[in-house]
A and B are shown apart, each in its own frame.
Chain A
Amino acid sequence: MSRNSNDLTGKHLDARLALSASGKIPLFDSARWQLRAKGLVLPVLIIVVLEIIVRIGWLPYYQMPAPSEIAMTLGDLAEGALWKHIGASLLRVLLGFAIGAGLALMFAAWVGLSREAEAYLEPTFAGLRSIPSLAWVPLLLLWLGIDETSKVVLIAIGAFFPVYLNGVAAIRNIDRKLVEVGHMYGFSRRRLVRRILLPAALPGLFTGLRSGMSLAWMFLVAAELIAATKGLGYLLSDGRETSRPDIVLAAIIVLAVLGKLSDGILASLEKRWLAWRDTFNGQST
């Protein structure tokens, strides 16, 4: 009796899956494009309004260049030095982020798993965390000079704390009841970490990595504004010194694109690995 009804639900499910696999895809796709189009409405509107305002002379062009002019500047830069700047900045961010986030994950795992480690390390980290990270800049310049090392270290410091904090929280928020299942099976510590703790902490770890990445970009700009001969931050201060708001805005746009791209990569990894989460996705209206 109960078997029968289960077979039925099984068939229903199959039927639903089949429907979404064959008939629904175009509809789903157009819905997705509609969503994307909605996201474009505001930026396009702003660009058009700005263009008009600047063209009719309500805003002085030497302070706010027209969007079309910024596009031209961007085009010019792309034929010349832009790629060199992007390359330099990207390298610094990736290196700093890798070092900072890597160390943070290590310490987060250590502190999260062991109360002993927490007792030794957590007060120190709490103290270090309360220092605004930019306060390190003079010291880094004194110790490491103004070349690459000090920039990478600053970015690493910036990326460290969000990853560390979220990492510890992610481990400590794991459902004790799931861990108990591992104890029930007599799992070794390593197996417990691999089979239960790591997957259960993954959502929190991703939150940390994503905010760490955005802080890495922030600290990159800080580092490059202070002292650099290439990089997007240098482009920003160069634009200011030569009174070229179009260059400043072009650099800002490139930073936005790169930040969005790097976050998008993390977001898509998150989406792929955390598809199992039973979360609220917002309402359609």
Chain B
Amino acid sequence: MTQALLDIHVERKTFAATTVLDNIHLQLQPGETVSLLGPSGCGKSTLLRIIAGLETDFEGRLISRTEPLAFVFQEPRLMPWLTVEQNIGFVDDDRYDKAWVAQLIEEVGLAGFAAALPKTLSGGMAQRVAIARGLYSRPRVLLLDEPFSAVDAFTRMKLQDLLLQLAQRHAIALLLVTHDVDEALYLSDRVLVMDNRPSSIRQELSVRLNHPRDRRDSLLAQLKALCLTELHRAHVI
């Protein structure tokens, strides 16, 4: 087995008196896509923030983490005073790699918008910029926190395909937090169904299907039924 890109054990994470995360062990292998599936507010975003290093106050151990690692937030979080181009190269101030940025703009399908300001972009376009900004630092691991929850269903499907394409092209492992069962199954190699509070991993489902997948595949439908049963048992739905 190859060295995991990410290996973390969270024994406990509490906010005031509430235990949010309880005994979670998570590994991410190179090239793998893993989804954390659970309802909003179950602590899965907190887990992602711990992995990203945005949350440092928890009981447990970060066994290994491969840098560079990038984060795509639920909202695009673009700097409104910077152009698309400057936002993508944000981490390098004004000395960003112009050619690489131009390539990324092309790859996320925003050719011609390099000099546009965020206020002129639609929600889906802004999230494309956010993904490009995530890719700029050439990460091995991309963490995504419900990245497509704010866009309409059709845009979401397009962005999901785009994400898979980019992950494959640049050999990036994805760790995705979502509350969308279809999204989790369509994108992932493994889906981790989370328990409701305190969260732990209730069940791990492997999705043994090659990419590109067909959204209508019967295996996806079967797995979806399984997921829903588990979520029902967890008193989520």
Does A178 sit within 8 A of B, measured CB to CB?
Answer: yes
Decide if A276 touches B117 in the complex (CB within 8 Å). Answer: yes
Does A242 sit within 8 A of B, measured CB to CB?
Answer: no
Q: Which residues of B contact A3 (CB under 8 A)?
A: 109
Does B91 sit within 8 A of A, measured CB to CB?
Answer: yes
Decide if A199 touches B113 in the complex (CB within 8 Å). Answer: no
**Interface of B: prevailing SS:** loop
Does B166 sit within 8 A of A, measured CB to CB?
Answer: no
Does B93 sit within 8 A of A, measured CB to CB?
Answer: yes
Q: Which residues of A contact B80 (CB under 8 A)?
A: 276-278
Given the interface pairs A2-B158, A278-B119, the reply to whether A196 lies near B79 with Cβ below 8 Å is yes
Looking at the complex, which one of B54, B90, B117 makes contact with A180 (CB distance below 8 Å)? Answer: B54
Decide if B112 touches A14 in the complex (CB within 8 Å). Answer: yes
List which B122-181 residues lie within 8 A (CB) of chain A: 158, 161-162
Residue of B nearest to A273 (CB): B81
Given the interface pairs A10-B112, A178-B79, A199-B79, the reply to whether A184 lies near B119 with Cβ below 8 Å is no
Q: Which residues of A contact B96 (CB under 8 A)?
A: none
CB distance from A269 to the nearest CB of B (A): 15
Looking at the complex, which one of A13, A183, A195, A276 makes contact with B93 (CB distance below 8 Å)? Answer: A195
- 29 sample A-B contacts, Cβ–Cβ < 8 Å, listed by A number: A2-B109, A2-B158, A2-B161, A2-B162, A3-B109, A6-B109, A6-B112, A10-B111, A11-B112, A13-B113, A177-B77, A180-B54, A180-B73, A181-B79, A183-B54, A184-B54, A185-B90, A191-B93, A195-B79, A200-B79, A200-B81, A202-B81, A276-B80, A276-B81, A276-B82, A276-B119, A277-B119, A278-B118, A278-B119
Binding site for B on A (CB under 8 A): 2-3, 6-7, 10-11, 13-14, 177-178, 180-181, 183-185, 191, 195-196, 199-200, 202, 274-278
Binding site for A on B (CB under 8 A): 52, 54, 71, 73, 75, 77, 79-82, 90-91, 93, 109-113, 117-119, 158, 161-162
